[in-house]
Chains A and B, each alone.
Chain A
Amino acid sequence: MLFWILCLAVPLVVKAEFILTIFIFGFILGVLAISFNVIFGYAGQLSMFNAAAFGISAYATFLSMERLHVSFWGGLVIALVLVAILSVIIGAICFKFQLKAFYFALVTMAFAELARLVIMNWGSLTKGTLGILVLQKPTLGFGDMAIKIDSTLGWYYFSLAALFLSALVCRGIVKSWIGRAFEAIRLNEDLAQTLGIDIFRYKLLAFTIANLLAGVAGALFAFYTGYIEPSYLSTTQSLDVIAMVLIGGAGTVLGPVFGAFILTGLPHVIELSAEIRSIAFGTILILTILLLPRGVGGSLKMLTIPWWKRLRERRAAGRAA
């Protein structure tokens, strides 16, 4: 699509490193936003664990590299396996007991907080709140042919590729029968169950996939910024992700990416104090929920549909309410 071509072309036009940096952050956080969209936008479950998966993967990737002497990719695999195991355990606990929406959010938040506390206090492993300086960089290729991803340009394309792959995965899921199951669960869980959909299995799947994607984002973020600290797992990070997805558009594949870009880039375009920015953020979030339930991305997508179809959809939605 147009978006990808534009992104590929950007570095040819823009030479300023700091602008490219904003894009890189946008891409990496875009992966995180897509991950949240999988569990929330498509499967309809409000999970507060994505930030935890993000952070755990960051720490695990680095620590594997440092302690087990594997490459970045080896570390990433180990981290993702860890995230998958945790997702299955926590997901099983939540879904087996049929915890409904709010409880699910709270239990995932509780586990995320526990994870954060563990990481913060396990000083000997994680250096606690002092954080870890990550000096290694990921490499592509083998042996002598390995290219180190060190420069801004390198990271730009690397993270863009990661985003592209994540979007592909997301799109693939959405278009498949898995995606349809997710949507059924989101719209009406009980009905889905009577239709024979094993909601436990599908919810668990959504939860795990979401956390895996978040884990990928986490490893990338850690190695790009070069610094990992326990606040990666904080609730604030979770809230930021929620905002990205909502503002960007929860029902679309690329919507959350726009949300990620808006949240990452806007503070640089409009210099505001932290407090005013927070107020604006909260206000925009509220307005988006109440007025633009499909988010900016979703609403833009709506604009591409001819007006008479839009009217029909609106009438149908009104009747269903």
Chain B
Amino acid sequence: MTQLLVTQILNGIIVGTLYGIIALGVTLTFGITGIVNFALGQFMMVGAYAAWYLTDVVGLPYPVALLPAVGVAALAGLVVDQLLFRFTRDNLVNGLLVSIGLIAVFESTALLIWTSSPKEMNFVMSGSLSFAGISLPKTKIVVFATLSAVIFLTFLALMRTWLGRAAYAYSQNPEAARLMGVRTQLLQSGVVVYSCALAGLGGALYVSLYSLEPFLGGMYILKGVEAAILGGIGSLVGSLVGGILLGVIEAVGSIYLPTAFRDAYGLILVVIVLIFRPSGLFGER
């Protein structure tokens, strides 16, 4: 039983990092542009299909395909930002509604092009690593490592670089930041594009683990938002921790309670946290 528990906790942590990277995108976008980009899941889907296409159809080796896939997602993010989100800065409701419209457009376009038949990318790295009776698929371990690395690099970049500090300053006090010379428009667009790139990376890595369908975005954005709220929607560390926490709760809940309710466990946790600590675990009061 302990082996089962430990395996599931580890699995939950790995799945949680996928939630975490979306949560990071959500938090960044909210902090700097004042809206929640509900369509981030769609950029994850874009990254996923791009990675699949480049690997299976065009024939690039998977690791090589990752960068262009992320690029496609980032480019899509740029287009959407310039055309749409630019007009909804700080307008939470409008931003939300535009995101909802985008979801319909992206999902249906993917359906049109690729149909609802699931795409299963050729396996990149098969087999598992076993130790002490616990086995974890190698691909999952690599995905975990990659995502964690990217998330930590993002933290570092925000803490150390000039751009990062400018972003932080802006999220604290937009007026002051602007007066200090921070190019706010550039900053805002940059953040939107970066979070779409993050989502795209999540998608590109996702496709090495699971089968791909156009509906992938819908589920992950919900989890990403839940994770962001759990961790505290202003906190970067919170997004990763929130994601991992969500993943683990779901996994552990599924062992002792019916798997049919897996999504509910996370939801209940989110509601409880929201009631007692609305700013999340790491957010400011």
Contacts and interface: CB of A to CB of B under 8 A. Distances in A.
B271 A111 contact: yes
B108 A275 contact: yes
A278 B229 contact: no
B274 interface: yes
A102 B97 CA distance: 11
B264 A114 contact: yes
Contact of B36 (A102, A277, A278): A102
A267 B73 CA distance: 32
For the side of the interface on A, what is the size category?
A: 35 or more
Contacts of B155: none
Given A93-B275, A117-B261, A279 B109 contact: yes
Interface residues of B, number: 34
Contact of A110 (B97, B107, B109, B267): B267
A107 B268 CA distance: 10
A27 to B, nearest CB: 25
B225 A242 contact: no
B103 A110 contact: no
Interface of A: 46, 93, 97-99, 101-103, 105-107, 110-111, 113-114, 117, 121, 239, 242, 246, 273-279, 281-286, 289-290
26 contacts: A99-B274, A103-B274, A106-B270, A106-B274, A110-B267, A111-B271, A117-B261, A117-B264, A121-B260, A239-B100, A242-B100, A275-B108, A275-B111, A278-B111, A279-B104, A279-B105, A279-B108, A279-B109, A282-B101, A282-B102, A283-B105, A284-B101, A285-B104, A290-B84, A290-B87, A290-B88
B267 A278 contact: no
B177 interface: no
Contacts of B92: 101-102
A274 B275 CA distance: 39
B104 A282 contact: yes
Nearest to B36: A102
B98 interface: yes
Given A114-B264, A117-B261, A290-B87, A97 B274 contact: yes
A242 B44 CA distance: 25
B112 A275 contact: yes
B139 interface: no
A282 B105 contact: yes
Looking at chain A's contact residues, the main secondary structure is helix
B108 A289 contact: no
The B interface is mostly helix, strand or loop, or mixed, namely helix
A289 B101 contact: yes
Nearest to A239: B100
B97 A107 contact: no
A114 B268 contact: yes
Contacts, number: 95
A289 B98 contact: yes
A144 B109 CA distance: 56
A239 B109 CA distance: 18
Contacts of A113: 263-264, 267
Nearest to B111: A275
A16 to B, nearest CB: 31
A117 B275 contact: no
B94 interface: yes
A282 B103 contact: yes
Contacts of B229: 103, 106
Contacts of B274: 97, 99, 103, 106-107
A111 B274 CA distance: 12
B182 interface: no
